[in-house]
Amino acid sequence: MLDLPTTPPPPLLFDTIVIGAGAAGLFCAGVAGQLGLKVLLIDHSEKVAEKVRISGGGRANFTNRDIDPSAPHKHFLGDNPHFCRSALSRYTPQDFIALVQRHQIPFHEKHKGQLFGDRSAEDFINMLLAECVAGGVTRWQPCGVKAIRHSEAGYELDTDRGTVRSRKLVIATGGLSIPKIGATDFGYRVAKQFGVPVVEPRPALVPLTFDGNGWAPYAQLSGLALPVLIETGEKKSRQTFIEDLLFTHRGLSGPAVLQISSYWREGTPIRLNLAPEADLPAALTRAKATSRKLIANELAMLVPSRLADAWVQGDTQLQRPVNEATDRALATLATRLSQWDITPTGTEGYKKAEVTAGGVDTRALSSQTMESRQPGLYFIGEVVDVTGWLGGYNFQWAWSSGHACAQAMAQAIA
Ligand SMILES: Cc1cc2nc3c(=O)[nH]c(=O)nc-3n(C[C@H](O)[C@H](O)[C@H](O)COP(=O)(O)OP(=O)(O)OC[C@H]3O[C@@H](n4cnc5c(N)ncnc54)[C@H](O)[C@@H]3O)c2cc1C
């Protein structure tokens, strides 16, 4: 047979290519497709939305009813916590709840406005995929992206499945947390390629560690959980949470610590009140006047007994009946329990962090559209320097930023 020279077929052309099929990318692709755009969604992982799958203990805390779009700084942090106001107010928790209801996914409220699926996070992944199908989205995975070029005509990508072109490009590749399920620094590299600044990323919603910092006496408390008041920061910027604390072998975890970790800065202390509901000085003074029990036993009425035992262990002044204790020893004990200042040595890092703080600098993005200074290049979800509290805030940011981006692209292309 005659061997004719072949010219390679021209690259496929899409209106938009979304890189990253996580929460933000899947949602954005589905909305954009349903608004009439020809969408390609690419992910290097075999499975989509791995973080949705493991979120909320496998049930996905998919949004939070307490989000106040007019005051986003209450629940979101970043160099400009007001950046997310526009997107959050144009696609609200109520909008996403309506979508969940249309897909007949049962859910419930657990704690402080947090909404969870009744069955499994898989319900939400199926919903996002169904929305993509409804939008006629083409999905390529696993598929790596090797290079991105920009010209007047738009974007050209070299991928494991060949070269593709599009008018718009959306980066939805998330942050650095949990690398073993596919997290990469891809988004930050693309930002840098196109001169879009990035705020130094750091692990957030992450356990804090106290290695070699006098932690040994507390390591025995590993597994103990109790409600605390936790705070960090200078007076003006102090952040406070009342949540559960969990002692671990290497330090502290639990919702209280995950929340405060997003605000904590290396080298600074955190302060804990281990009995936030008790008036410790008054309770101990009363005990001294009326009881002959050991201090540890009196304390065990105010805090868990394991904690009470550990607290008096290293101090002979406290290993005696409460009526024999000096006023000063009891006052010091009350202060140490209600104002326990400790300085973490670090965090458990990206392998345990639920999110990455920092990311693509919001000063280089439009808060209306998520488009960057680089025309036609958009960033959505966790890759952006917007970090939510624990409790469904990060998913709502993924939905709202994805929605704003999809709408803007559809308007620009119409
Ligand atoms: C254990 C855990 C539990 C959580 N629980 C909750 C919760 O209950 N509620 C809540 O609001 N938030 C929760 N979060 C946070 C939430 O999962 C994230 O904020 C959210 O998934 C961010 O969405 P995203 O689409 O921006 O990024 P991701 O969901 O991380 O998606 C990014 C996608 O990009 C892909 N990708 C990465 N690099 C590349 C590359 N180089 N090429 C191609 N594709 C790439 C990844 O494979 C992934 O599919 C949890 C996080 C963790 C780790």
Q: Each residue of 240-291: pLDDT tens digit?
A: 999 999 999 899 999 999 999 999 999 999 999 999 999 999 999 999 999 9
Residue nearest to atom 53 of ligand 1 (CA): 354
**For the segment 30-45, what is each residue's pLDDT rounded down to a tens digit?**
999 999 999 999 999 9
What pLDDT was estimated at residue 234?
Answer: 82
| Residues with pLDDT less than 50, the chain | none
Those residues with Cβ within 8 angstroms of residue 189's Cβ, 6 or more apart along the chain or in another chain: none
Q: Are 382 and 357 in contact (CB under 8 A)?
A: no
* Closest of 161, 154, 157, 127 to residue 30, by C-alpha: 127
Q: Which fold has domain 12-202+356-413?
A: FAD/NAD(P)-binding domain (3.50.50)
Determine the number of helices (DSSP H) and then strands (DSSP E) in the chain: 13, 21
pLDDT digits (tens, 9 = 90+) for 366-378: 999 999 999 999 9
Residue 272: its H or E element: strand 270-273
Determine the distance separating the centroid of ligand 1 and the alpha carbon of 326, expressed in angstroms: 54
pLDDT score for 211: 84
Per-residue pLDDT, 404: 98
Ligand 1 contacts (CB < 6 A) are 19-25, 42-45, 51, 54-56, 60-61, 144-145, 172-174, 177-178, 182-184, 186, 354-355, 381-383, 392-395, 398
Position 2 scores a pLDDT of 58
3-state secondary structure of 31: helix
| 87-102 as b/e: b if 16+ CB within 10 A | bbeebbbeebbebbee
Ligand 1 atom closest to the CA of 60, numbered from 1: 8
Give pLDDT, residue 237.
81
The atom of ligand 1 lying closest to the CA of 49 is: 49
DSSP string for 70-101: T-GGGTEESS-TTTTHHHHHHS-HHHHHHHHH
Cα of 133 vs centre of ligand 1, distance in Å, is 21
Q: Which atom of ligand 1 is nearest to the CA of 182?
A: 47
Q: Contact at 8 Å (CB) between 273 and 232?
A: no
Domain ranges of the chain: 12-202+356-413, 207-348
Supply the pLDDT for residue 215: 83
CA 287 to chain centroid, in Å, comes to 43
For 345, the token pair is 């040595």
CATH annotation of 207-348: 2.40.30.10
Q: What pLDDT sits at residue 213?
A: 62
